């Protein structure tokens, strides 16, 4: 039985297509349509996602790499004759039986205030609040470098790089960051989906941009996958639609997309959860280039694509039931608090906070007065900040978002897949890129060329106004005057990328 059946959502105020813009959009062929959504609903879905994160991460925390690191923190969960024992030792680096998972206690949710899965998002949100939702790598990198909270894996290496003078995006590049494929950006990208309500195109753009502060390739794709699903959840009619949107945002030849396709194929062919999960471990369980736990020398796996597959497993087999979804993502093992947290965020955006509050299991013990560790923010204040960022996105893209009123949210009528990017298996020279931009009033004409021994696969342009397009040559028209960071990307046949940043000033 589902906690919140899909029928419940039919009565929620989904956006309604209300027209097609005649404003010039440059590379945005097909124009822009609008959906309407009351700010009350926007806020409810944003709050629901933050609460879903808190529920998932705190429920899963007693299982996260449990046997090696934190089992002694939770002696009450596993005792034999009153003596705490590490009963998860036999499951290290693999699935956890569903009947061995901890029971949910409503008091758990307040542990979310101490979790890095949530508070690491804050510096990026603050940078965008100060510099604009299209803040560039310098502003994002400076904010992350100034953070003081403890970090691990790609986050830690990325911040160390920034502090050593290696600026973003090279702070996340595999040549400087041997944790580049790790899960870090995947667990932090929720706020990006929430600041792009019903706008998966700009959610993908933002998550691709921010993710390169600490990740590369599949590590960035994890954030694109999560953010695109959350953005879609604002207007989707089913969880399947949400999951498909996340999959479609990624290039088919990327390993991350291949893993997702395998999960979908097995699910659609009728395989049960256990067989689907076992196939993932058989093929991908030791595919992990994390410097600490690489390959089959260590059973722990913090690779983004495997753990992203565990998010997808929960969403597909959970069939919209919040508890079942989190349990499936958790029981898959590995980073078993981050994965149900991301799945919970997706469902929270889909159902909204009001729906969560209607079930006393989830929010009955929530302390709304607490402040998230390392931040000055209560839950309500973080939600306010995320709503303001969403307002900024809507307005930058030409919509309207009056405080307390009905928002007109612009939606690009095209789907671009972010460029193919992979950490090369063997040492490989990246493409040599040459890019140019010609400015004519509010219109720019861009052109790129590149050479590489492996051959050139694709070019992609990010225009600095939350839009992007694929192709060596593009014409783009800006809605507003100002300064924009235009980024040209090129990918070779194996996914090795190069980029060039060009700042343009747009006048009438």
In-domain check, residue 118: yes
Q: Are 198 and 161 in contact (CB under 8 A)?
A: no
Q: Measuring CA to CA, how many Å separate 382 from each of 126, 136, 309, 323, 330?
A: 10, 22, 28, 25, 26
Q: Are residues 382 and 493 in the same domain?
A: no
Give the mean pLDDT of 176-205. Answer: 97
- Return the structure tokens found at 465: 């106004």
Give the mean pLDDT of 401-421. Answer: 92
What are phi and psi for residue 364, nearest 5 degrees? Answer: -65, -25
In-domain check, residue 421: no
In-domain check, residue 45: yes
pLDDT at 3 over 70: no
Per DSSP, the residues of 296-314 read GGSS---BHHHHHHHHHHH
Residue 492 CB neighbours (<10 A):
24
Give the mean pLDDT of 257-285. Answer: 98
pLDDT of 78: 58
In-domain check, residue 312: yes
Instruction: Say which residue the tokens 């494929």 belong to.
Output: 181
Q: What is the 3-state secondary structure (H, E, C) of 117-180?
A: HHHCCHHHHHHHHHHCCCCCHHHHHHHHHCCCCCCCHHHHHHHHHHHCCCCCCCCCCCCCCCCC
Q: Are residues 37 and 76 in the same domain?
A: yes
Say how many domains are in the chain. 2
In-domain check, residue 417: no
pLDDT of 10: 31
CATH number for the domain that contains residue 101? 1.10.4080.10
Where is the domain boundary, 382, 412, 442?
A: 412
pLDDT at 12 over 50: no
| CA–CA gap between residue 246 and residue 21 (Å, rounded) | 26
pLDDT of 20: 32
pLDDT-derived band at 91 (thresholds 50, 70, 90) equals confident
| CA–CA gap between residue 486 and residue 265 (Å, rounded) | 38
Q: Are residues 162 and 279 in the same domain?
A: yes
Q: Are residues 461 and 321 in the same domain?
A: no
Range of weakest confidence among 9-18, 187-196, 235-244, 270-279: 9-18
Q: Are residues 297 and 403 in the same domain?
A: yes
| CA–CA gap between residue 288 and residue 305 (Å, rounded) | 9
Q: Are residues 152 and 94 in the same domain?
A: yes
Q: Are 124 and 159 in contact (CB under 8 A)?
A: no
Q: Are residues 89 and 206 in the same domain?
A: yes
Please give the helix or strand (H or E) that residue 323 lies within, else none.
helix 322-331
Give the mean pLDDT of 345-373. Answer: 98
Where is the domain boundary, 377, 412, 447?
A: 412
Please give the helix or strand (H or E) that residue 38 lies within, else none.
strand 32-38
CA 94 to the chain's CA centroid? 24
Please give the helix or strand (H or E) that residue 40 lies within, else none.
helix 39-60
Q: Are residues 107 and 212 in the same domain?
A: yes
pLDDT of 345: 98
pLDDT of 376: 97
In-domain check, residue 337: yes
In-domain check, residue 420: no
Q: Are residues 375 and 443 in the same domain?
A: no
CATH number for the domain that contains residue 452? 2.60.40.10
Residues 6+ apart with CB under 8 A from 223: 185, 186, 188, 189, 192, 207, 208, 210, 211, 215
Write out the residue range of the structural domain in which residue 126 sits. Answer: 6-412
pLDDT of 416: 75
Where is the domain boundary, 412, 446, 466?
A: 412
Q: Are residues 388 and 497 in the same domain?
A: no
Q: Are residues 41 and 190 in the same domain?
A: yes
pLDDT-derived band at 83 (thresholds 50, 70, 90) equals low
pLDDT of 71: 60
pLDDT of 63: 86
pLDDT of 100: 87
Q: Measuring CA to CA, how many Å separate 504 from each of 255, 435, 471, 484, 485?
A: 34, 13, 19, 5, 6
Express as a percent the part of the chain with pLDDT over 90.
Answer: 84
In-domain check, residue 120: yes
Q: Are residues 24 and 83 in the same domain?
A: yes
Q: Are 485 and 501 in contact (CB under 8 A)?
A: yes
């Amino acid at each position: 039985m589902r906690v919140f059946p899909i029928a419940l959502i039919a009565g929620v105020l989904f956006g309604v297509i209300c027209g097609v813009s005649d404003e010039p959009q440059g590379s945005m062929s097909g124009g822009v349509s609008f959906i309407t959504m009351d700010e009350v609903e926007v806020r409810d879905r944003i709050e629901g996602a933050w609460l879903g994160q808190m529920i998932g991460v705190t429920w899963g925390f007693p299982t996260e790499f449990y046997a090696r690191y934190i089992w002694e923190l939770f002696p009450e969960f596993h005792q034999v004759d009153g003596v705490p024992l590490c009963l998860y030792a036999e499951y290290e680096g693999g699935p956890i039986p569903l009947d061995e998972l901890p029971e949910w206690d409503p008091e758990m949710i307040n542990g979310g205030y101490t979790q890095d899965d949530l508070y690491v998002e804050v510096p990026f949100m603050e940078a965008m609040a100060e510099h604009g939702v299209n803040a560039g790598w310098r502003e994002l990198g400076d904010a992350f470098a100034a953070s003081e909270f403890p970090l691990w894996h790609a986050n830690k290496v990325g911040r160390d790089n920034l502090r050593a003078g290696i600026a973003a995006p090279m702070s996340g590049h595999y040549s400087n960051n041997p944790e580049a494929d790790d899960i870090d950006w995947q667990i932090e990208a929720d706020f990006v989906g929430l600041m792009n309500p019903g706008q998966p195109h700009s959610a993908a753009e933002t998550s691709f941009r921010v993710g390169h502060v600490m990740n590369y390739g599949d590590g960035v794709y994890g954030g694109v996958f999560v953010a695109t699903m959350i953005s879609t959840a604002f207007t989707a009619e089913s969880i399947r639609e949400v999951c498909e949107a996340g999959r479609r945002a990624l290039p088919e030849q990327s390993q991350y997309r291949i893993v997702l396709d395998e999960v979908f194929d097995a699910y659609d062919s009728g395989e049960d959860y256990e067989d689907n999960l076992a196939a993932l471990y058989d093929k991908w369980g030791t595919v992990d280039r994390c410097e600490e736990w690489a390959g089959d020398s260590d059973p722990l796996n913090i690779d983004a694509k495997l753990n992203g597959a565990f998010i997808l497993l929960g969403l597909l087999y959970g069939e919209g039931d919040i508890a079942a979804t989190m349990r499936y993502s958790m029981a898959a093992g590995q980073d078993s608090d981050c994965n149900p947290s991301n799945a919970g965020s997706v469902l929270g955006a889909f159902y909204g906070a009001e729906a969560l509050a209607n079930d006393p299991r989830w929010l009955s013990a929530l302390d709304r007065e607490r402040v998230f560790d390392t931040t000055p923010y209560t839950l309500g204040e973080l939600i306010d900040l995320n709503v303001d960022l969403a307002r900024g996105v809507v307005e930058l893209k030409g919509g309207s978002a009056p405080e307390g009123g009905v928002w007109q949210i612009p939606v690009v009528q095209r789907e671009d897949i972010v460029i193919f990017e992979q950490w090369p298996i063997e040492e490989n020279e990246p493409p040599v890129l040459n890019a140019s931009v010609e400015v004519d009033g509010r219109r720019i004409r861009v052109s790129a060329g590149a050479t590489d021994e492996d051959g050139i696969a694709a070019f992609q342009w990010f225009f600095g106004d939350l839009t992007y397009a694929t192709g060596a040559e593009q014409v783009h028209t800006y809605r507003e005057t100002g300064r924009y960071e235009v980024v040209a990307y090129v990918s070779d046949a194996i996914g090795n990328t190069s980029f060039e940043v060009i700042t343009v000033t747009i006048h009438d």
